[in-house]
Structure 1
Amino acid sequence: MAKRTIRAPFFCVNPKAYLYGEEALKLAEKADELAGKYDLDIFFTVQYVDAYRIAQATNHLIITVQHMDGLVVGPGMGYILPEGLVEVGVQATFLNHAEHPVGVNQLVNIMKRAEEQDILVIACADSIAEAKAIALLKPDVMVCEPTELIGTGTVSDLSYMKQTNQAVKSVSPSTFVLQAAGISTVADVRQAIESGADGTGGTSGIVCAQDPLKTLEEMVEEVVKVRAELKEL
């Protein structure tokens, strides 16, 4: 298996632990439909127990887990084995999210294992300084979210987005930048992409909306609109 190629702008649907089972599958199927319709790369994070089912039911999504470990085949009770993830169709993993932080040594080890298994790494940082430090490891994607804004519906301000975009690119030009803190409206989606970020996405802004499927569709369509506008420039 070769590592999945990412095309900007992309979108990330991250239900965390809000959804599982049937509800997660329903949202994944909608995201898959949109990814196919608009030829857009969409990361969709899953609960481990849902990974195989959602991978089998979809054709276009980048199936993503919320963490994995640097375990190798053999002893290792209670840890997430990279080879096992690949076997069920996982193509990407988040690492070092504020809700599941890891130490630097651990991060280096896990990223090494991800590279061996062609798993895309979406590494998280909660400040400009941390973003620069983690960018030295050259993750495929970096999420630059101030921890205090996660899940609040308050989006990072434009200057912070631009600073973190530039900070990451100055260290690792090939790393894509995802701005997704507090994204809850189509205006937030537009601002994130127009800030120079390569992608955006949401969690509570989608799954806690009155109509999650409609909200997801509107956000994805806004990414597609901005993509078209950028192509015309």
Structure 2
Amino acid sequence: MEKSRVLLVEDDESLCQVVTDFFNMFGYQISQAQSGDEFSRLIRQQAFDIILLDLNLPDADGLELLRMLREEQQVLLYVVSGRQDETSRLRAYELGADDFIAKPFSARELELKVRNALKRHGPVIDFVESQDKQPGVFIFQGWQLEEATRSVCHQQGKQIQLTRGEYELLAFLAEAGGAVVTRDNLLNHLEQAADIYSAETITALVYRLRRKFAQTDLDSPIVTLSRIGYRLEIS
């Protein structure tokens, strides 16, 4: 089973080590960022299942980092901070924090909170092998995607005809079952399945698909995680 990926954003080296050792003991894959710059670099490089964010960093305010992150991603995020005033807590929740944990805290309690949250939300992974299903047919949010007709039909009677590239992109996301598919994985697949060789073409395909979904007056099920990849809203 793939390890859950945790990003700890904390400039206190001693606390970093305690939390890292504890989470490693329970089988997590944990990365550290001790500044806003490190945080920004890491979230561009890889996907995380949950972020533990301190508000007081040497080069950035954690609330500003939270605001910028929420413009791009909806990854689980817990604020873990010694800043306990009501204004900071409320602002963190307003900006999209999933929880606010005050210092000092119990590492065991923090791990249990993280474990329970990940059970509810499920891990972010690069790709999930398709489950046993009718070959060439995928179901998500009332839509049925069919290889035979290269179309996607909604239970309300809406139908969208797809190009080869649009179908292969949507089918690959559907196979992932709601998990995140990285842009690199998607491009590798589309190179073989649809002769698509650039990330810019993927962006254009997603844009066209969203326009087609919008023309049915139904929401697009495609979710973008900036600089990481895409996933489908399945249910």
Scaled by the length of structure 2, the TM-score of the pair is: 0.30
Higher relative contact order (CA 8 A, sep 6+): 1
Higher helix share goes to which structure? Answer: 1
Higher strand share goes to which structure? Answer: 2
